[in-house]
Amino acid sequence: MRIVNKKGLHNYHILESLEAGIQLTGPEVKSIRAGRVDMGQSHAKIINGEVSLINMNIPAYQNAPIKNYDPIKSRKLLLHRDQITSLIGKLSGKGVALVPVSIYEKNNMIKVELGLGKSKKEFDKRRIIKERDQLRKIEQDLRGKV
């Protein structure tokens, strides 16, 4: 099970990535395992020496009797202290953001792959879409001739 943040990959060049644990409740884990996660507008920030994942939408699990559940609350990411200090130094650069690339299960634990991303320009996005369309057309032509 791996859920990829397609919007994040479309908007950012991922320069470097790292794996982090995430602090969740039981019903949130069940909801993630069911594939019900929206990471489109999510990003990570370092607040008071702790890394938090902001705007990741995990809807409430259907069979959980939870009242007053906030699906967009900020969630704490679990990283070592030296990883956090390294991230602080890297994020001080201009135009660099901490973007969640994917969320997956590893050894029965939910992990988040964070990427150090530099924002893409509009012409970069158009060029990538154009290249993808050309490759798709070439593949279709090859399949049609064989």
Comparing CA positions, the residue from 125, 4, 114, 122 lying closest to residue 54 is 114
Higher pLDDT pick, 3 / 68: 3
Segment 45-59, tens digit of pLDDT: 998 889 999 988 888
Q: Which domains does the chain have, with CATH numbers?
A: 2-120 (2.40.280.10)
> What integer pLDDT is reported at residue 146 of this predicted model?
53
Per DSSP, helices labelled H in the chain are 6-11, 26-33, 81-91, 122-145
Q: How far apart, in Å, do the first and last CA atoms of the chain sit?
A: 35
**Is residue 98 over pLDDT 60?**
yes
Task: Give all strands (DSSP E) within 25-124, no chain letters.
Answer: 43-47, 50-54, 75-78, 96-106, 109-119
**Is residue 80 over pLDDT 90?**
yes
Report the predicted TM-score, pTM, of the whole model to 2 decimal places. 0.74
Phi/psi-derived region of residue 108, left when phi > 0, alpha when psi is between -120 and 50, beta in every other case? left
